[in-house]
Amino acid sequence: MREQIKQLLKNSVYRAIGETAKGIGVVNGDDRSLRVLMYHKVNDLPGNRMSMPVSLFDEQMAQLREFGYTVVGLDAVLAHYTDGSPLPEGAVLITFDD
C-alpha cells in the first residue's frame, strides 16, 4: 500500500511538471531539434523504483501526441545525422536502458 501511494505521488508530480512545461511554452514542438526520452523499465511489478507503470507510460505517449510531438525511430535519427534527412517537427526518440 505504501509503495502504491508513493507511486501515485510520483505520477502526480510528473504530470504537474509536464503541464507546467506546456504552460510556459517549453513543450510546444515548434522546432526540429531531437528530444530523447530514456526509460529503464515499463511494467506493473511493484517495488521497483526504476520501473514505470504501463498506464503512466501510455499516458505519457498520449501526451506527447497531444502536444504535437512525433516519435521517430533510430533509423530516422541515423539518417538525419549521416545523410542530412530532415526530422519532423517535435521529433522524439524513445529509448530503453538495460
Q: What are phi and psi of 86, to 5 degrees?
A: -70, 145
- Measured CA distances, 37 to 27, 31, 51, 64, 70 (Å): 14, 17, 14, 11, 12
CA 71 from centre of chain = 9
- Note the pLDDT of residue 94: 93
Q: Domain of 35?
A: 2-96
Closest CA to 22 of 80, 54, 69: 69
CATH assignment of the domain containing 76:
3.20.20.370
Q: Mean pLDDT in runs of 10 for the chain (98 residues)?
A: 73 64 50 83 86 92 92 93 90 87
Q: How many domains does the chain have?
A: 1
What's the predicted TM-score (pTM) here? 0.64
- Note the pLDDT of residue 5: 78
Q: Which residues contact 10 (CB under 8 A, 6 or more apart)?
A: none
Phi/psi class of residue 47: alpha, beta or left (left: φ > 0; alpha: ψ in -120 to 50)?
left
